[in-house]
Amino acid sequence: MAEPKKILIVEDDEILAKLYKTKLAKEGFEIQVASDGQEGFEKAKSFLPDLIILDLIMPRVDGFGFLQKVNQDPELSSKKIPISVLSNLGQESDIKKATDMGAKDFFVKADISLTQMIDKIKAALK
């Protein structure tokens, strides 16, 4: 049997992070959670996930700072790990900035259900 796909959730909202982790683990994914961009970057380097779910508004290092760090790190940038942004920010400028910085997908939290998100993640990891 193939090893489970690894997902890193970078989300400062503990309730949301726990909800995502529980649901995705039930789907058979191996999950790690980080509560800000700095912790997320460190975990990305050690965990080497197959996909990263990234919030933008976080303490210490925000999602844009995280994207910048990943892009500047030769090991992580060469792996081309797909990053899906899941944020409350929905302005065109934020979406453009995140995708210009390498985010593969951008979802506004209020516009996507957990089930839809899991379907998108499964599709991205095929």
DSSP string, 100-116: HTT-SEEEEGGG--HHH
> Alpha helices, DSSP H only, in 37-110?
37-47, 63-72, 74-79, 92-100
pTM: 0.94
5 falls in which pLDDT band (50, 70, 90)? very high
The mean pLDDT value for 18-26 works out to: 95
9 falls in which pLDDT band (50, 70, 90)? very high
CB atoms within 10 A of CB 37: 27
pLDDT in the model for residue 79: 83
Distance between CA atoms of residues 123 and 68, nearest Å: 25
Spatial strand order of the sheet with 6-10 comes to: 30-34, 6-10, 51-54, 83-87, 105-108
What single-letter amino acid sits at 120? Answer: K
What b/e string do you get for 44-71 counting C-beta neighbours within 10 Å, with b at 16 or more?
beebebbbbbbbbebeebbbbbbbbbbe
Q: 3.30.70.100, 3.30.70.370, 3.40.190.10, 3.40.50.2300: which CATH number matches 6-124?
A: 3.40.50.2300
